[in-house]
Structure 1
């Protein structure tokens, strides 16, 4: 796949729009029937096909993140029905009418990005975007996309549908946010009154609610899981920094085992780790690079001079002798997280030392979070 999107046309007017869209909307491959060929398709990298578009759809479903069809909605629904698997994996599907007046989000509006793609394509064509997803229409929290643009991941998706129903039906909803970015409300209007924000589970459990959105880097205890996730969704913000120091040649297996066991002891989720921080002497350490690659973590490094700007309770002359810094994992974690204190100051595990800090996020002005408790 050279581009993420495919636009397909089967009519004369559709071909005109497809060629126009292909030239103006970045990341789009154009497909249309060979009977409309003009002779410049090879130079424009346009794909021609014969027969029914139904024959090429299975391949397009596998190759593209989004498929834009200039075909009637009814025909598209019938053609794609046998290809549907799951909203977590199906591509975005859009339909554009033959006059280019409406761009319709048909499939995978949220997780597949069809709603946003619909808005973008409509803007290029000067058309009207047609989106029917309730949370988008009402301008409220999209449960299955909540925090996605901030890097949050969903840790429990089973209740996404009933929780979404509670949100759009304006039932009491508790947003329990222990950490993470607070600028998740994207609309230029107040937070709806049926959605209340709490700093921790204990505060939320003092009042009744029908659904919960939990934003935390902690592993919830049994009671919290029972009461909050019975009809709730758990989100993992990228809020933890691992400060790591290690002996030369320490392997991936030892590093990984030390990290995972320590996070388990601290009752913290590995899904909330944002990055690893260390001294610049370790920027080429194979074990660290392999660990970061496996978990898709950034490796952030600091010079000894930068690390020494952090006052340590127990500076090490031995570490200074070999590195020029009085500590590695502890100051690296604080510098990267922008924090003043550690969740774990320092732990030595075999050939590595580990420190954990929580990222400091900007606090929103009260007026922007007027419903917070």
Structure 2
């Protein structure tokens, strides 16, 4: 935790707060006032309250947004007997924080998240640790409840990725609780259902409520004319992905030739979506085998191509999943990046 605030009410609470400096030397310790909680909420990764839980609940209730952005909240009694993980137990780190505090104070961590008390891996933490983006957070509570009730999570995964024992791999996405794919429609091309006679995309014969986990494994090679605006680059890439049944949320990075590295529209597009932009020299691009040379590109840059070889160099792979697509002033090619699994190490994203 980088920024931690500790709030107390009594003198005994202050003594506990001072002991917490062993864990968080830079923590800001303040006497509790309802009006300062709002400021601390915005500035800190975690807030530790040493007081009754009821006071804390009333103070933070208007500030709660969601588990992806709320700071970790841990509540302690003023004797340090119990450290209660109250808010953002998983992604925010409150569960681990409560355990660390209990260890320092000789108390007991109180963890109430269902997966933890049932000794099951947390879906959101496992997704984060494996660079997977949860697409439909609204479905996660339903899937999580089913997971705890069943003692296992049925997972369809079309990339090489190690699953914990509690995640049960299934070969058909219809029967999955969680689907790991960069495909926009994982059911595209599925045979018609023998029961309903409909395509599986009708949801007539699949598990109700499926959470999608998107791997960050798409690399887009981009070539563009000078002065091409952000909107045109964005539209070209979006269209290319849609036409090839791929999702934008799986996009990891962009790649281009070095002379386009400071192209305003391309740079603005990368910044807007938080994407890294890798650039390669003409010499580097010309080392890539299997590229059909473009006379137009050779004349303009000296490189045999831009979008295709840049995508391959940035991905570390030797083949494209989408060859170059010309969209107005923009050329796009897509390759798969190697995927890091927390348990497997580095594997190819085929």
TM-score range, shorter chain: 0.7 to 0.9
In the other structure, the counterpart of 1:214 is: 179
TM-score by length of 2: 0.83
* Comparing 20-29 and 302-311, the one that deviates more: 20-29
Please tell me whether residue 29 in structure 1 is matched to residue 35 in structure 2. Answer: no
| Contact 2:181 2:215 (8 Å CA) reproduced | yes
Please tell me whether residue 268 in structure 1 is matched to residue 233 in structure 2. Answer: no
Cα–Cα, structure 1 residues 291 and 365, in superposed 2: closer, same or farther, change >3 Å? closer
Distance in 2, matches of 1:22 and 1:364, equals: 32
Q: Alignment partner of 2:138: what SS?
A: coil
In the other structure, the counterpart of 1:140 is: 120
In the other structure, the counterpart of 1:16 is: 15
> Please, which of 240, 244, 248 is the counterpart of residue 218 of structure 2?
240
Cα–Cα, structure 1 residues 229 and 332, in superposed 2: closer, same or farther, change >3 Å? farther
> Please, which of 166, 176, 179 is the counterpart of residue 146 of structure 2?
166
Distance in 2, matches of 1:365 and 1:173, equals: 18
The CA deviation at 1:215 is 0.9
Q: Alignment partner of 1:147: what SS?
A: helix
> Please, which of 275, 278, 283 is the counterpart of residue 256 of structure 2?
278
Please tell me whether residue 341 in structure 1 is matched to residue 306 in structure 2. Answer: no
The CA deviation at 1:127 is 4.6
Q: Alignment partner of 2:231: what SS?
A: helix
The CA deviation at 1:303 is 2.0
- Structure 2: 5+ residue stretches without partners: 188-198, 345-350
The 5 Å alignment of 1:243-262 reads 243-262=221-240
Please tell me whether residue 308 in structure 1 is matched to residue 286 in structure 2. Answer: yes
In the other structure, the counterpart of 2:200 is: 223
The CA deviation at 1:300 is 1.0
The CA deviation at 1:107 is 1.9
| Contact 1:146 1:184 (8 Å CA) reproduced | no
TM-score by length of 1: 0.78
In the other structure, the counterpart of 1:182 is: 161
| Contact 2:291 2:309 (8 Å CA) reproduced | no
Cα–Cα, structure 1 residues 129 and 306, in superposed 2: closer, same or farther, change >3 Å? farther
| Contact 1:8 1:69 (8 Å CA) reproduced | yes
Cα–Cα, structure 1 residues 59 and 105, in superposed 2: closer, same or farther, change >3 Å? same
The CA deviation at 1:348 is 1.4
Distance in 1, matches of 2:266 and 2:308, equals: 16
| Contact 1:174 1:204 (8 Å CA) reproduced | no
Please tell me whether residue 150 in structure 1 is matched to residue 130 in structure 2. Answer: yes
| Contact 1:255 1:352 (8 Å CA) reproduced | yes
Distance in 2, matches of 1:247 and 1:27, equals: 50
The CA deviation at 1:78 is 4.7
Please tell me whether residue 288 in structure 1 is matched to residue 266 in structure 2. Answer: yes
- Structure 1: 5+ residue stretches without partners: 34-52, 186-190, 367-373
Distance in 2, matches of 1:102 and 1:175, equals: 36
| Contact 1:212 1:228 (8 Å CA) reproduced | no
> Please, which of 59, 82, 107 is the counterpart of residue 102 of structure 1?
82
Calculate the aligned-residue CA RMSD, in Å: 2.9
Q: Alignment partner of 2:262: what SS?
A: coil
| Contact 2:173 2:179 (8 Å CA) reproduced | no
Q: Deviations over 1:128-156 (max 9, x none)?
A: 43212121233323234441233322211
Q: Alignment partner of 1:95: what SS?
A: strand
